[in-house]
Structure 1
Amino acid sequence: MFCYKNWEIFCEILSQSEITLCTAERSLQLPEKKRFIVLKHDVETSVINAYKLAAIEHKYGICGSYYVQAYLMLDCKNISLLKEMQSWGHEISYHYDVLDAHGGDYKAAEEDFIKYSNIFLENGFHYSTICQHGNPIKKRIGYTSNRDFFRNPEIRSHYPDLVDMVVDYSKHIGGRKYRYISDAGYQWNIITEPETNDLHPEVKNVKIGGFKNLLNLLINSEYSYVVSTHPHRWMSVAWKINLKIIIFRIIREFVMIIRHIPGIEWLLNKFYFLAKKI
């Protein structure tokens, strides 16, 4: 599935359906009975890969939502690509990571959130939805995940016009039934509790299967959907993707085995941010 040519087939088929394909921001404004699909992308390492997906979507008249990590906004080449994506109608927004970056220190986290938000605004990216970043191997003390940043009542009160795609999105879409699908782990899953699964790790996601199963689910269901991808996982050559998936799974299993060795957990926690590279 993670070939650009497959994304093109995917977008072409969706564009021929009668389902409303829109950005997350636009989904908040739709009539209550309107079924929609949001193509959401968490841009963590590669803006050029995101640009390639955005170009395919643009070809078929689809506008997606691209949540970009702040450090990527410090590169003028990335800014240029993102501005072109925005000119096509895509939503460019902030994929925040501030609570993990400061070990649960809300004051320092908010200072960074304001600083990085201003970088987006100064470059012409105005948004009403945002999304947190996960960090699967981060060890946390006193908080659960980056989601706790916007779960905090005081922090929440400072940004009444922002909707978090994981924390409180469902409250803003008119009570309609929706499901959240992610490509986490290089496979398609329905996330069973998208707003609280960090609090309930025992709850299992629902595996969808391959490309055809995903399309069939989206087109023939009564639900609206948010389909979340990670652009750095997408490539143009199938064998490279398959090799990357094998490497990813080997590393994941290796980390799960060694993480309980004294000292290793500290090391993994110190360099947790490297996990997004794979």
Structure 2
Amino acid sequence: MITLAQYKKMLTEFAQQGHVSRSISSTREQPAGGLFLKHDVECNIERAVEMAQIEADCGHVATFYFQADLLDTEAGKDAVRQIGKMGHEVAYHYDVLDENDGDFAKSEEQFDHYLSVFSAIGHNIRTVCPHGNPTKVRNGWRSNKDFFKNDTIRKKYPDIYDIVVDFDGRFPGGIYLSDAGYALRIIGDIGGNDASNASAMADGLPIEWSSLNSRLKENESMILSLHPHRFVASRAAALTRKVVFKVLKQAYRIAGKIPGVSKILNRYYSLARRV
């Protein structure tokens, strides 16, 4: 991972070379092309606001996908308002199928509820992104992506598109990069890599942050999907977080082989988003 200062330097260089990010939903009115900064906000709303300010100062427009339960607090709603006032897009990072154990009716009800919450604070949702849960045990659905792969859901929300499920159709010739796993990777099949938790976690070609400029020149469009809570002020802190992540990941793999432990991990699957 890179530090906040390194991130700002990178964004400044992008802008100087004519690579300026625009919102994800702008592709409804304009052809997809160029740079798109995307953030999954899963915790640490203060860091999300800080990154939004850095991007605005550098002349970029980003899209911030908020986990809906963050809007259950006034602090979360205020962060959404602040980010919106900077000119960024606010969107929905949904977790409805996993949270409701694959029950589509309950998932739809929850989805509707949070659409109204976003709307009440001034943001009508035009694009969504499914949350991935690496410790969730599923039976009858593959991942949250199944929600917007469902024909009934599609017909009910014709004005909303899913940046992950619809990536190939919306961004032909584009690449999707993610910092999932604390390493920057080009995801090979972002819409269909959810046959299992393992396949989703394994999908990706590691690349260096320094190669992003050349990637922008080589591809028609590039989505850079980043988690604000993973960005820190110093290199030492960044290294520490990466080491902690690797230790926890290895511990999960070992613990998951112990009978009964996977059920316990499944009960607390949502804690993984804070890592």
TM-score (norm: length of structure 2): 0.94
Paired residue secondary structure (1:22): coil
State the SS of the aligned residue for 1:255.
Answer: helix
2:255 to 246, 253, 258: 258
CA drift at 1:258 = 1.5
Give the C-alpha shift of residue 231 in structure 1.
0.7
How far apart in 2 are the matches of 1:127 and 1:89? 15
1:48, 1:78 within 8 Å by CA — same for their partners in 2?
A: no
CA distance in 1, matches of 2:159, 2:167: 12
Whether 2:182 is the aligned partner of 1:186: answer yes
Q: Which residue of 2 aligns with 1:109?
A: 107
Q: Counterparts in 2 of 1:98-247, with a 5 A limit?
A: 98-173=96-171, 176-199=172-195, 201=199, 204-209=203-208, 211-218=209-216, 220-247=217-244
Deviations 1:121-160 (A, max 9, x none): 1111123111110001111101100000111111111101
Give the Cα–Cα distance (whole angstroms) in 2 for the partners of residues 208 and 55 of structure 1. 26
CA contact (8 A) 2:115 2:124 kept: no
1:20: how far off?
4.5
Contact between 2:40 and 2:225, CA under 8 Å: does it hold in 1? Answer: yes
| Separation in structure 1 between the aligned mates of residue 258 and residue 97 of structure 2, nearest angstrom | 26
Give me the whole-angstrom Cα distance separating, in 1, the residues matched to 2:203 and 2:116. 37
| Runs of at least 5 residues in structure 2 that lack an aligned partner in the other structure | none
* Higher alpha-carbon deviation: 250-259 or 197-206: 197-206
Q: Secondary structure in 1 aligned to 2:207?
A: strand
CA contact (8 A) 2:148 2:154 kept: yes
Cα distance in 2 between the residues matched to 1:183 and 1:39: 12
Paired residues in the alignment total: 272
Answer yes or no: is the 8 Å Cα contact 1:27–1:38 preserved in 2. Answer: no
RMSD value over aligned CA atoms? 1.6
Question: In the TM superposition, what whole-angstrom CA distance separates every residue of 1:6-43 from its partner, at most 9, and x where no partner exists?
Answer: 110111011112234211011332246xx311100000
Q: Does the aligned pair in 2 maintain the 1:66–1:93 contact within 8 Å?
A: yes
Task: Write the distance in 1 (CA, Å) between the matches of 2:189 and 2:170.
Answer: 17
Tell whether 2:61 aligns with 1:63.
yes
Displaced runs of 4+ in structure 1, greater than 3 A?
none
1:216 deviates by 3.1
What per-residue deviation string (whole Å, max 9, x for no partner) do you get for residues 183-223 of structure 1?
Answer: 000000000001101137287421113x21233323x3133
* CA shift for structure 1 position 84: 1.9
Given residue 270 of structure 1, which amino acid in structure 2 is its aligned partner?
R
CA distance in 1, matches of 2:211, 2:195: 29
Structure 1 residues 20 and 58, CA gap change in structure 2 (3 angstroms): closer
Percent identity, aligned pairs only, is 33
What's the offset of the Cα at 1:85? Answer: 1.3
- Of the candidates 252, 269, 278, which is equivalent to residue 266 of structure 2? 269
Unpaired runs of 5+ residues, structure 1, are none
Distance, in Å, in 1 between the alignment partners of 2:20 and 2:274 is: 33
